[in-house]
A and B are shown apart, each in its own frame.
Chain A
Amino acid sequence: MMTSWTTHLPVFVVILPLFVGFILPTLARRLRLVENLVIAVEVISFVMAAALAVLLFKQNGSPIPYAMGGWPAPWGIRIIADNLGVLFLLVIAIVGLPIALYTKGNLREEVGGRSRTARFYALYLLLMGALAGMAVTNDLFNVFVLVEVATLSACGLVSAHRNPRAAEAAFNYLILATLGSGLVMGSIGFLYITTGHLNMEFAARELAQVWQHSPHVVWMAASFMLTGFGVKAAMFPLHVWLPDAHSMAPTPGSAVLSGLAVKGYLICLLKILYNVFGQTLMRHFTMHHVLTAAGIAAILAGSILALRQDELKRRLAYSTVAQVGYIILGFGFVNQRGLAGSLFYLASHALIKSTLFLTAGAIISATGKTKVSELAGVGRKMPLTMGAFTVASLGLVGIPLFSGFVGKWHLLLGSFESGNFAAAAVILAGSVFCAAYLFPILRNAYFQETPGENWQDPGMAQRAAFVLLSAAIIFFGILPTPLLTLAQRAAADLLFLQ
């Protein structure tokens, strides 16, 4: 019996949040139960992801495939829990639990009544399920469907906020994201028409044989794919929806959007770029230069825009634009170190940005102040919240022994290996910018006069969330080996190095 359960792990990790999400709307009267169910789901997801990781380490990184319905690969959908997938599953699980804890008893103010809250939770779990699906998917059209689930639930999360501007942000997000998924679907269509396969491995094999007869098809497919996922993952010139959406969403929504949803799209993009086009075609069509250029532009522009924001959540949202730039930059290096760094940075940014958003949300709801300049003395009044914020800021800036540093270190290694010194300079400049837009918040919080108001740390569950997240940031800063090994193996898989 034991073995059968472990063989089904890759599918359980996807369907568990979905199944629980289905029944949540009917439980709207019993909100307590809903909250506890969500937390339980996250705990179980974490256990399952960890079990998958252990399994993967036991077999030295050889992937765990799972054929849906038992149909073999080119006919049915085969999902694969490979290094990349398990890495992202772990990230989802580690970030998801604190976010679920944070929401406990804390949505009334931002979301509203019971039925809305229950549906908010359902959307949250559906998003989690879709992201888990993205982690293990190995099928082009499956990617599209998952992306749609994620997009719709993410828009739903944004629109759940009571603020009228949330609806506008959600609408803009929805329109642009749908445009993006139209492009993605078009691209999948081109690939399907030329290769006749939807399974990534088979499509790649076929594409390697036919691409010379139809270079423009590859061109258009790649540019559609990049633009489509670029819109969804907020690659720099296409990020216009992100600041509104991520700053207007309810706090847990912002955290999960910035921390995980964007990463899910990036993982899909990575899979398609490397598993379908492959590094040969990427180099031939200079996609890696496009990625690098987009990354550099995103880091610089995102940081500068973030510097100019006074609203805390907007500043964090622009910071996400900049940090996505790092990840994209790493995708463009096309070498193992750069990719591993990029993947580790993705994990670390997921942790850090969700911490930042959650603590920012807690601060905003405790103080009622949304502007950076108004937050004088918060550090003294809300030590735990601000402590977590500080840890996350240091991590984002890339101070050694915080998780961001490890990612940056490997990104730098990758950039030097690919001979891209401009990228290295931008990575480092990005850290300085990051300090420039985050440290003033800390300075205001700790070194300004404390106002007499009665601001307090939030409740137990929220504190637990902060402690968990900051512990994770420090843990992966000090002992990155498990994640880093996964990332390195995933990078090797993507580059077909054996």
Chain B
Amino acid sequence: MKIRHIFVAVVVLLALFGMLLMVAELPPYGSADNPGQNMVAQRYINDALEDTGVPNMVTAVVLDYRAYDTMFETIVLFTAALAVVVALKPAEEEGDDA
């Protein structure tokens, strides 16, 4: 068990080092000209009100621009509810319908 833990720790530390190398190459945090603030974000910011009629851009993105994702998001929650019931409901309970 112990050896496995050490192995895991070494692997994770190596990966951590790689990640730090990577972080140094990422565009600087908080800058207004990051790749993230490109035409995609600009359209969400500038046209959201006109496109969707809501001032909250996050909601505009969640429920309109990327509504397809959000549909799957609700499905994830639905799946979890189903799975929880399947996992915990006793197998023999005839006539019971939840």
- Touch A–B, Cβ below 8 Å: yes
The answer to whether B83 touches A153 (Cβ under 8 A) is yes
The answer to whether B72 touches A142 (Cβ under 8 A) is yes
A-B contact pairs, 17 of them (CB 8 A): A22-B78, A28-B97, A29-B97, A69-B68, A112-B92, A113-B90, A120-B86, A123-B82, A126-B78, A149-B75, A155-B83, A156-B87, A160-B86, A192-B36, A193-B26, A193-B36, A196-B36
User: How many pairs of A and B residues are in contact by the CB < 8 Å rule?
Assistant: 154
Given contacts A113-B96, A193-B26, contact A216 B21 (CB under 8 A): yes
The answer to whether A142 touches B69 (Cβ under 8 A) is yes
What's the least CB distance linking A52 to chain B, in Å? 18
The CA-CA distance from A159 to B88 in the complex, in Å, is 9
The answer to whether B21 touches A197 (Cβ under 8 A) is no
Residues of the B chain whose Cβ atoms lie less than 8 Å from the Cβ of A156: 79, 82-83, 86-87
Name the segment of A74-82, A238-246, A258-266, A324-332 touching the other chain. A74-82
**Residues 100-115 of chain A, each 1 if its beta carbon lies under 8 Å from chain B, else 0:** 0000000000011111
Given contacts A113-B89, A192-B36, contact A77 B82 (CB under 8 A): no
The answer to whether B85 touches A196 (Cβ under 8 A) is no
Residues of the B chain whose Cβ atoms lie less than 8 Å from the Cβ of A129: 75
**Residue of A119, A167, A170 contacting most chain B CB atoms (<10 Å):** A119
Given contacts A126-B79, A194-B26, contact A76 B66 (CB under 8 A): yes
The CA-CA distance from A25 to B97 in the complex, in Å, is 9
The answer, yes or no, to whether B35 is at the interface (CB within 8 Å) is yes
Residues of the A chain whose Cβ atoms lie less than 8 Å from the Cβ of B69: 77, 139, 141-142, 145
Pairs A-B, 4 closest by C-beta atoms: A112-B91, A156-B83, A196-B35, A214-B25
Partner of A196, one of B21, B38, B82, B96: B38
Residues of the A chain whose Cβ atoms lie less than 8 Å from the Cβ of B90: 112-113
The answer, yes or no, to whether B98 is at the interface (CB within 8 Å) is yes
Chain B residue with Cβ nearest A194: B35
What's the least CB distance linking B90 to chain A, in Å? 8
The CA-CA distance from A111 to B85 in the complex, in Å, is 12
The answer, yes or no, to whether A343 is at the interface (CB within 8 Å) is no
The CA-CA distance from A126 to B86 in the complex, in Å, is 14
The answer to whether B27 touches A126 (Cβ under 8 A) is no
Residues of the B chain whose Cβ atoms lie less than 8 Å from the Cβ of A340: none
The answer, yes or no, to whether B9 is at the interface (CB within 8 Å) is no
The answer to whether A71 touches B94 (Cβ under 8 A) is no
Task: Name B's A-contacting residues (CB within 8 A).
Answer: 18-19, 21-22, 24-27, 34-41, 43-44, 64-69, 72-73, 75-76, 78-80, 82-83, 85-87, 89-98
Given contacts A18-B75, A159-B86, A195-B35, contact A217 B26 (CB under 8 A): yes
The answer, yes or no, to whether A439 is at the interface (CB within 8 Å) is no
Residues of the A chain whose Cβ atoms lie less than 8 Å from the Cβ of B19: 220
Residues of the B chain whose Cβ atoms lie less than 8 Å from the Cβ of A152: 76, 79-80, 83
Residues of the A chain whose Cβ atoms lie less than 8 Å from the Cβ of B95: 114
The answer, yes or no, to whether A213 is at the interface (CB within 8 Å) is yes
**Residues 147-162 of chain A, each 1 if its beta carbon lies under 8 Å from chain B, else 0:** 0110011011001101
The CA-CA distance from A71 to B40 in the complex, in Å, is 11
Given contacts A113-B89, A115-B97, A216-B21, contact A196 B37 (CB under 8 A): yes
Given contacts A115-B98, A156-B86, A216-B25, contact A196 B92 (CB under 8 A): no
Residues of the B chain whose Cβ atoms lie less than 8 Å from the Cβ of A220: 18-19, 22
Q: How large is the interface on A (under 10, 10 to 19, 20 to 34, 35 or more residues)?
A: 35 or more
The answer to whether B83 touches A123 (Cβ under 8 A) is yes
The answer to whether B39 touches A116 (Cβ under 8 A) is no
Partner of B79, one of A29, A79, A153, A198: A153
Partner of B87, one of A146, A159, A217: A159
Residues of the B chain whose Cβ atoms lie less than 8 Å from the Cβ of A198: 40
Chain A residue with Cβ nearest B91: A112
The answer to whether A216 touches B38 (Cβ under 8 A) is no
Residues of the B chain whose Cβ atoms lie less than 8 Å from the Cβ of A69: 64-65, 67-68
The answer, yes or no, to whether A446 is at the interface (CB within 8 Å) is no
The answer to whether B76 touches A197 (Cβ under 8 A) is no
The CA-CA distance from A215 to B21 in the complex, in Å, is 10
The CA-CA distance from A22 to B98 in the complex, in Å, is 15
The answer to whether A71 touches B78 (Cβ under 8 A) is no
Residues of the B chain whose Cβ atoms lie less than 8 Å from the Cβ of A214: 22, 25-26
What's the least CB distance linking A120 to chain B, in Å? 6
The CA-CA distance from A190 to B18 in the complex, in Å, is 13
Residues of the B chain whose Cβ atoms lie less than 8 Å from the Cβ of A22: 78
The answer to whether A115 touches B27 (Cβ under 8 A) is no
Chain A residue with Cβ nearest B79: A152
Residues of the A chain whose Cβ atoms lie less than 8 Å from the Cβ of B38: 196-197
The answer, yes or no, to whether A206 is at the interface (CB within 8 Å) is yes
Residues of the A chain whose Cβ atoms lie less than 8 Å from the Cβ of B98: 28, 115
**Residue of B21, B25, B68, B91 contacting most chain A CB atoms (<10 Å):** B68
Residues of the A chain whose Cβ atoms lie less than 8 Å from the Cβ of B26: 190, 193-194, 214, 217
The answer to whether B27 touches A194 (Cβ under 8 A) is yes
The CA-CA distance from A358 to B42 in the complex, in Å, is 52
Partner of B25, one of A18, A28, A217: A217
Chain B residue with Cβ nearest A123: B82
What's the least CB distance linking B7 to chain A, in Å? 12
The CA-CA distance from A213 to B90 in the complex, in Å, is 57
The answer to whether A216 touches B18 (Cβ under 8 A) is yes
